[in-house]
Amino acid sequence: MPKLSFDNIALRAIAAAVPRHVQAIDTSIRTNMRFVKQMGIKQRHISLTEQTSLELGYVALQEALAHAGWQAADLDVVICNTQFPDFNVGNSFLLQHYLPLRPDCLIFDQILCCASLPYVLSSACTYLQQPQFKRAAIVLGDTVWGMYPNREALLKADRFTFGDGAAVVLLERAAAQPLDLYLFADGSGFKYLFNSTSSTRNAWRHYEHYVVPDGSEHGATQLGYSYLYMNGFYITFFASKNMSDQIKELWGERILDYDYYAFHQGNKQIVDLLSMALHLPHEKVLTSYEEYGNTNGASPLITLCHRLAHNDRPLHIFNASMGAGLAWGFTDMQLDADMICPVRTTDLVFTDLLYQQCAPQAAGASKKD
């Protein structure tokens, strides 16, 4: 069991940002009422201005820096995690440009889906053990509007699971309460949760009718959608049974000692089943899926910002995250008072990154020098 424990890492700020536009599920449709009851998701924040996790992460990072009283130049390490970067160079490089960060700031991207929080924290904390690094930021975020072929299809969606959002944690090498991270993976579980069209494997089959590893048939991109495959039964069972058994084995009755629990906000069913399996007090289990949907790896941090902003006392928080891979992990963190910022809404777009549409060249016309 990979367990990492750090007693010299202080968390200085947590911030989050989401698009300004709110899209609600049309609950007048009976099937969607059943969907809301099971999933718990009533609305989401979604971009209509072609924002990506880059802009949302930028706004969240600026908010966190201001709250901590830091400048961008104070950062020695910045790690971004997103499943959908703007370009293949990675969002950390673009953040370095727009903030700007120092040229000698260590920057890179990771791709760890919904289990990213403990994993990316482990990377940042490990780098902060080096004497030349003192301050770090992790930026977690995803935007899913790009899974739709156009804005009209996005606005017509009357039921959905995922929302757009990003979140940031600032860390500093300093004497602090222990930060414990537990990391796990089972690669055989990839077939239960993965995006079949996001990478190279089967690239020539993405636009065909095909069979995924569990034997079910799918036409992945008939309308241009990126196809996320999830075996809902297995993932729900894994979260409520395997993860809860593992937590009981590691913590026992101590699992009841935390002030709050911020799980990955996959949906109401997963959060409720895991909470019930651990016999957690309902009022201590924080949720944000109702308003933001499943915001992927950023969801536990968005939940903290949504529910505990400007808290006036120190808090002991437990997080359990899981995602594609199959990967999962637990985070045991202690937060100082008033370090959690409220969720920001924004319409910021770096327009210089947008390709401009041009009129098609008329037949027979020649280009001028």
Q: Give me the residue spans of the domains in the chain.
A: 8-352
Tens digits of pLDDT across the chain (369 residues): 579 999 999 999 999 999 999 999 988 877 788 889 889 999 999 999 999 999 999 999 999 999 999 999 999 999 999 998 999 889 999 999 999 999 999 999 998 889 999 999 999 999 999 999 999 999 999 999 988 888 998 999 888 999 999 999 999 999 999 999 999 999 888 888 877 667 787 777 766 666 766 676 765 444 344 567 778 788 888 888 889 999 999 999 999 999 999 999 999 999 999 999 999 999 999 999 999 999 999 999 999 999 999 899 999 999 999 988 889 999 999 999 999 999 999 999 999 999 887 766 655 554 444
Q: What is the pLDDT of residue 30?
A: 77
**What Å distances lie between residue 84 and 48, 144, 296, CA to CA?**
17, 8, 11
d(Cα 140, Cα 112) in Å, to the nearest integer? 10
**Using one digit for the tens of pLDDT, what is the confidence trace for 39-75?**
999 999 999 999 999 999 999 999 999 999 999 999 9
pLDDT, residue 5, reads 96
Distance CA 343, CA 309 (A): 8
Does pTM top 0.85 for this prediction?
yes
Site of tokens 């109702």? 290
Q: Do the bridges between strand 106-110 and strand 77-81 make them parallel or antiparallel, or are there none, so unpaired?
A: parallel
Max CA distance (Å), the chain: 78
Predicted pLDDT of residue 126: 97
Architecture of domain 8-352: 3-Layer(aba) Sandwich (3.40)
Residue that has been written with the tokens 């930028």 in this structure: 58
Q: SS3 of 85, please? A: coil
* Residue 260, pLDDT score: 98
C-alpha to C-alpha distance for 345 and 361, rounded to whole angstroms: 40
